[in-house]
Amino acid sequence: MDGKSPLSSYSRDHLLVEWWEQGTYAGGPPTWSSYVAKNKQYTEYYDLADDPYQLTYKLYQATPQDEQNLGIPALAARLSEDRTA
C-alpha cells in the first residue's frame, strides 16, 4: 500500500492488486496481478509453474492488434511500473 489507510477518505486513481502462489501444494490459485482504476481493470494471469517466463497469457486470447485496440500495452506498462515501485 501507499501508506494511506484504505478506510480513510483519501482517493486513489488506481490500485495494484496481486496474489503470489505460496508453498508447494498443488491446486492453489495461480499467481496473478491486476491494475484497477475507476473505469478499467487489467489483469495478468500466468501459470508460473509451467510458464515461468510468462509467455502464455491465460485469460485472453487476443491478437496483438486486439490488444492494441483495447489499450493493453499502456495498461501493462502502468502495472509494470506499479509492481517495481
Do the domain assignments include residue 1?
Answer: no
Assess if residue 65 is contained within a domain.
Answer: yes
pLDDT reading at 22 higher than 70? no
End-to-end CA distance of the chain: 11
Any idea which of 1-10, 29-38, 64-73 has the lowest mean pLDDT? 1-10
60 and 73 Cβ atoms separated by less than 8 Å: no
Query: The pTM is what?
Result: 0.53
Q: What range does the domain containing 70 cover? A: 14-84
| CA dihedral for 31, 34, 76, 79, sign (positive or negative) | negative
Query: For the ranges 10-19, 21-30, 66-75, which has the lowest average pLDDT?
Result: 21-30
Within-domain flag for 75:
yes
- Domains contained in the chain, number: 1
Per-residue pLDDT at 61: 72
**56 domain residue, yes or no:** yes
Q: Is the pLDDT of residue 40 over 70?
A: yes
